Amino acid sequence: MKTIITLILILLTPLVSFCQYSVNTFSDLYEEIEDYSSIALETFGDRSWSKEFELPFEFKYFDTTFTSFTLDFSGIGSFENQIDFSMRLMVFGYEFDNVTDPNKLPSDVRYKFGIEEGRQYLVVQYTKTRLISDPSVDQFDSHVNFQLWFYDDGDIEIRIGPSNLDNSPVYIPGEGFFLLTANAGPIPLGPQLALYHPFDESNRIEYNDLESHEEYEFNNYVTGTIDWWPPEGWVIQFSNELVSSVDIEENGDVFIFPNPAVDQIKIVSPEKIKSVSIFDMNGRFCLEHKGHIINTTGLVPGFHILKLEFKSQKIIKKLFLKT
């Protein structure tokens, strides 16, 4: 009951403002991971598992960098000393089957660390998992498969695998997932897909599908849900616009002065600037400029992040504005 109440409270949390992530969706080949570790075995079959992942890389989330986070059976990810449940990745409740043979686990949650196209990652795969309260599992083998990918550059991807929900009363296409209860009847319960800043409750992003899994919006003021479970191969990708480009690098040939600044800065670089985007430290977009001299009088004092785009590369710089 505590778990159910927690999920309900999470889905009903109000939203306030926006952040720096962009969202993209597309179809791709779904491939199950190999050479993985099994959470079913590590937790001795605890279907309400929660695991802290120690990362072999620095994970860039919003404007903060982490080397570990906790993920659980419901798709909730959290960080140490956070003020909220930060990563809400298809939040519902997913159970693997009872472990009867440790050498044969067709239903499981698996994870793996690796490198893909030069990026380090952690992937967590919910393998033939069951929706909580689903009475159709024994007769119809109802289940879902999906993967959560976390890349070192801040990208997060949800990749949907083959699923069987045709006879499940827990899922109604166009309405989403329901928790079935004996007394209260079906309770709408997501799934919720959202990213929340771990230390700033006003900085959040919600993903909300519309008339199909292919149509969506993302916002910061209405709690969204996944009403259409996507087909196999569907990918929902969140990119941290401040850090996710593989072309981003620190460059000693580019200088900003004065820094700290008051009302104007000049950018010195060996290459012509295509554009400069300025964000505050909460990731909120402030202004865009073309050219090497920027008037900053309209910006609030404090730290800012500059995303400089050149023909050959993108560079991130920090700026401090004085009063």
Percent of the chain with pLDDT over 70: 89
Write out the DSSP string of 112-165.
EEEEETTEEEEEEEEEEEEETT-TTHHHH--BEEEEEEEETTS-EEEEE---B-
Write out the DSSP string of 200-253.
-TTBEEEEEE-SSTT-EEEESSS-----SPPPTTEEEEEEETTT--TTB---TT
* Predicted TM-score of the model (pTM): 0.74
Residues 144-174 have pLDDT tens digits of 999 999 999 899 999 999 999 999 999 999 9
Residues 72-122 have pLDDT tens digits of 999 999 998 898 889 999 999 999 999 999 999 999 999 999 998 888 999
Which residue ranges form the domains of the chain, and what is each CATH number? 2-240 (no CATH), 255-321 (2.60.40.1220)
pLDDT of 247 strictly over 60: no
